[in-house]
Structure 1
């Protein structure tokens, strides 16, 4: 009987191993499908951009070479993109047709340049090519879907075999129920733990911490909320595998340092929480600093040889006036941690009266946000962007201020983070956008020459599938031409989801909006992204103009950026300019627009409208003067 049981278990495990190997192979292949679909999509979008540039008189041979390289790899040639060629007849047939049409389209482009064919003929070929590229994308997507269905079937089969294996084991071990019960308890404990670090998962930490607080009311407890100052940098530069190694080691360090009646949990990413006992407050800081020193030494001895500081908020239960549960204590420890993040405190901060006031201030803002939007307490200010050649406003950026009914003004750095935390930033963005559309319509009805106005869009908006359609609807409501509106977003969205960014920008462009990257250079900018990201404007962050130790070097960097992006037909805006010396530098470099206090501070709507009126009058007066000179 034992031999039969053993043989049955061995057979099941061999079968699982074979299926697992097959599934891993399928998964590894599946990782390439998304890249394949993406590059076929790049061929589709890049060709449209190529034709558009050709029609506008820009010869883009470098783009032709780039698309040729991708198509060669799509057809099986080895290259830098590491693309696969699926064994799928439908996809390969579509790819053959796409190659043929690409050759025809290239010939037509060269004929168009020499005047042998008309623009309509080139446009027609471009549309046919776009449709074929769509068909090729769909064929690749269908093939990938089929492979994923195969993977799903393998998973289901594996799950079925695993279930059968456990039933088999349970039946075989029915006489050892006590041992099985102990094993189940151990497995249950594992499910409550974070698989990477071994610390409690968020909800399990809260339950266990509350149990300890209730069970040992005589203990002096402190809740510690800690993370690293910029762990995203580690992941971006050294990769997620390296980052996971650091987190795993840090979890081990924190768990090893626990004493009786203490626990550790991992809330999210690099955020850890602890419930610690103490006699003196200094003990908490000393113990946490030891843990941080240990992980810092580990990072310095690892491959990256880098280290980043920690940010730690501490909330002692005895310092809290309210009768709070663990969720409230965590909130306060986290609020103390945020004061480290914003640079206003050292690495280890205890929750205190000043932090308490800040928390209540945030709660006060939170309680008034919805009504403030309804009551139109938010006011849009406009900061002009000046053409350095003419000295006139060629555009503006919309900025928001909160003026409460009693006249109190709340600065943006106070209320915008709260809007983001409560996922209401989309409502505020749309409010500002609609105010801009309203003003643009008003200016046009007055007969003024309105200039483009840019509106900032939060990164959370990119995850709202309807945000573009909502913006188009508002634009149509006020009948504002698309070229008078520009959408700004910060480069940080690139590191959240580059694929989503590319897709959203493409849809914004299709809807007629101009797109701008804000704060370029402030984060970890990728210049290579500009060749695939179809933006119209790049705003160079004021960081480059802050009068650093080597101003000449900073200007050379700015000059290089301007020269490079101009090759992609991208206009540039220099932000934060405060003196005429910088203006002269930028004018010589060919910077398109300048924004800063050297020309204008952000101004209310009525002042901005008056500025446009004066500039239009000056322009018209100059025109009359020039005409009179000609008549004389």
Structure 2
């Protein structure tokens, strides 16, 4: 109790005497709401409070004096408490503004992450004309109580940033709708914004917040009165939609995609955004807990990986649960598989177009399981990325590659540069490059034999870290490659500033070039940009002679794809592709 009263006293001093608004904000819950003395003074969220503080300071810049103060804890529980305060406050007479106010506060605290934060504040001014009458005005008290209750409930169920329902509010409202008197057919939709963290990184968190608010506004307009929407996680939204059939639902979701962002926000971020949505169609709306239904929609949303995620609408199927269990089983088996050497090195050759000779290769991996099945990287690498196992896995594959390169060098083979993929998670690991170099040097592999490869998204998300890494790699004699260019948010200007040596053009830029003039122009400009910024251009996914001929005409340096060679075991690569010095 003393702790809470001391905190209330500290906040009162900060607000009235010190006028230190930033200290106050440190002790507010993200779901903070308040009721003030003004007729319409009801607010929520720190953003609105900042605006209120700014307006208040423009009205009166001076400090107040607290003549009398009394603090009392009227309710206390492990996670919630209420403190009442009575203050007599007066303004500085020299300011030209004379104010003397007997104030009363009710402060609601909630324990969040191990500390007490203010979740709601109710402020009133004593009505001095009735000070002689020790009675309660029931009508006024009931009105104030109802306002307070409404504000607290609203703050509890409403997302502070966007103003739509949060998870708890959505679950409650959706529960009311689905079992209402009118029997409707409902679909539960959960969708996430693809690559949202890149928007935060490139455009700033304020712009990211504006994107979320724009989406929330679109959802409110999109939903009918019998439907509900909410922001249930950082960049994940939920919808309860009435529908007549799958075709109707697909059509509505396409309309939502088209108007998800306001034109103003689109211009601000300079890019379209895409989402991946999971849909659960319950057989009996009232038979399952709402959160279980949300989980099933999430499983559907997460079942699509890679580029196929863009604007994808996936319906939940019980088989998805089996797929999820299989992924978890594989994840449990991965450490032992690493010890047993089940992950095998594969290499896909790259062709130098001008001379039609071997230019290099990309190191890949296959999981050769004891039962004879072979898993491709897409079936396990995303899992390793998600749970952090990729950090250990990358170094394991680096060692496998270095051991193989040492063997080829010892037997007199001429080695071309081999690119190896590295997770962007390493960029936040202290001492990563030192460990990388130590591994290569242990096998005495010349640094120029290895190309360090990062995806385009890593260059955008970790721009500063990647620039520093590029400088250090060059000092050590390694090359740096941008992989999958054309799949993310990187602009030509930002890529031109990145100190990379090789630009790997994603196969998506090569698709339909024969029939789409715009694709040909974009591909041409990317190749020109690589040449003018002194990067080697490598086009991935080349499968036809026509594609190869067009790339050669454009002046593309290297190609990689099934037309030239498929990924092959390291032993076959040595036998079929390498030459002796």
- For the structure 1 residues 180 and 12, does the alpha-carbon distance in structure 2 shift closer, same or farther, using more than 3 Å as the test? farther
Residue in structure 1 matching 2:211, options 218, 222, 243: 243
Match of 2:391 in 1: 426
Q: 1:173 aligns with which of 96, 99, 104?
A: 104
1:438 is matched with which residue?
403
C-alpha contact 1:292 1:310 (8 A) present in aligned 2: no
- Shift of the 420–307 alpha-carbon distance from structure 1 to 2, 3 Å rule, reads closer
- For 1:333, the equivalent position in structure 2 comes to 297
Alpha-carbon offset, residue 485 of structure 1:
0.9
- Separation in 2, partners of 1:591, 1:477: 35
1:124 paired residue number: none
Structure 2 contact 275–310 (Cα < 8 Å) conserved: no
State the distance in 1 between where 2:525 and 2:246 align.
50
**1:90-126, CA deviations, whole angstroms, 9 ceiling, x for partnerless residues?**
xxxxxxxxxxxxxxxxxxxxxxxxxxxxxxxxxxxxx
- Please tell me whether the aligned partners of residues 517 and 535 of structure 1 are also in contact (alpha carbons under 8 angstroms): yes
Deviations 1:554-607 (A, max 9, x none): 556544433433333322222222344544544455433222223221110110
Q: Which of 162, 171, 193 lines up with 2:158 in the alignment? A: 193
Report the Cα distance in structure 2 between the residues aligned to 1:12 and 1:507, rounded to whole angstroms: 50
Task: Give the aligned partner of residue 499 of structure 1.
Answer: 464
Describe how 1:480-499 pairs up with structure 2 within 5 A.
Answer: 480-499=445-464
Equivalent residue number for residue 56 of structure 1: none
TM-aligned CA deviation for residue 516 of structure 1 = 0.3
Number of equivalences: 459
2:112 equivalent in structure 1: none
Is the Cα–Cα contact under 8 Å of residues 249 and 295 in structure 1 kept in the other structure? no
The structure 1 residue matched to 2:432, chosen from 461, 467, 478, is 467
Matched residues in 2 for 1:11 and 1:524: separation? 44
Q: Distance in 1 between matches of 2:259 and 2:310?
A: 23
* Bigger fraction of residues in strand: 2
* Change over 3 Å in CA distance of 1:385–1:296 after alignment to 2: closer
Q: Relative to structure 1, is the Cα distance of residues 448 and 307 closer, same or farther in structure 2, using a 3 angstrom cutoff?
A: closer
Per-residue deviation, 1:456: 0.9
Q: Is the alpha carbon distance of 1:167 and 1:161 closer, same or farther for their aligned partners in structure 2, counting shifts above 3 Å?
A: farther
Are the structure 2 counterparts of residues 303 and 212 from structure 1 closer, same or farther at C-alpha, using a change threshold of 3 Å?
Answer: closer
8 Å CA contact retained: 1:572, 1:593: yes
Q: Contact 2:349/2:360 (CA < 8 Å) preserved in 1?
A: yes
Relative to structure 1, the CA distance from residue 284 to residue 444 in structure 2 (aligned partners, 3 Å threshold; closer, same or farther) is closer
CA 1:289/1:558 → structure 2, altered by over 3 Å: closer, same or farther? Answer: closer
Q: Residue 601 in 1 paired to residue 516 in 2?
A: no
| Residues 412 and 562 of structure 1: CA distance in aligned 2, closer, same or farther (over 3 Å) | same
Aligned to 1:538: 503
C-alpha spacing 1:357/1:596, structure 2 compared with 1 (3 Å): same
1:176-224 deviations in Å (ceiling 9; x for gaps): 897589748835752663222234545x5699699999x99xx999753
Work out the CA distance in 2 between the residues paired with 1:244 and 1:166. 42
Q: What is the DSSP-based 3-state SS (H/G/I as helix, E as strand, rest coil) of the residue aligned with 2:568?
A: coil
For 1:59-138, what aligned pairs fall within 5 Å after superposition? none
Greater shift, 227-236 or 475-484, is seen at 227-236
CA spacing shift, 1:535–1:180, aligned 2, 3 Å? same
* Contact 1:378/1:403 (<8 A) preserved: yes
Query: 2:494 — aligned with what?
Result: 529
Find the counterpart in structure 2 of residue 268 from structure 1.
234
Residue 598 of structure 1 aligns to a residue whose secondary structure is coil
1:396 deviates by 0.9
Say whether 1:225 aligns with 2:190.
yes
Aligned: 1:313 with 2:244 = no
3-state secondary structure, aligned to 1:330: helix
Contact kept? 2:352, 2:359, Cα under 8 Å = yes
Q: Deviations over 1:460-515 (max 9, x none)?
A: 33233343232122112222121111111111223323223323333333343210
Counterpart of 1:384 in structure 2 is 349
Judging changes above 3 Å, is the alpha-carbon distance between structure 1 residues 482 and 348 closer, same or farther for their aligned structure 2 residues?
A: closer
Matches of 1:518 and 1:563 in 2, distance apart? 17
Structure 2 CA distance for partners of 1:425 and 1:234, relative to 1, 3 Å: closer
What is the deviation of 1:318?
5.6
- Whether 2:332 is the aligned partner of 1:370: answer no
CA distance in 2, matches of 1:396, 1:349: 36
Asked if 2 retains the 8 angstrom alpha-carbon contact of 1:455 and 1:486, the reply is yes
Question: What TM-score do you get using the length of structure 1 for normalisation?
Answer: 0.59
- Contact map agreement 2:275 2:309 (CA 8 A) in 1: no
- The RMSD of aligned alpha carbons is 4.9
Aligned match of 1:401: 366
Normalization by structure 2: what TM-score? 0.64
Aligned pairs for 1:270-289 within 5 A: 271-274=236-239, 282=244
Aligned match of 2:413: 448
Say if 1:573 and 1:594, in contact at 8 Å, map to a contact too.
Answer: yes
Q: Distance in 1 between matches of 2:571 and 2:284?
A: 49
Q: Which residue of 1 aligns with 2:132?
A: none
Matched with 2:48 is none
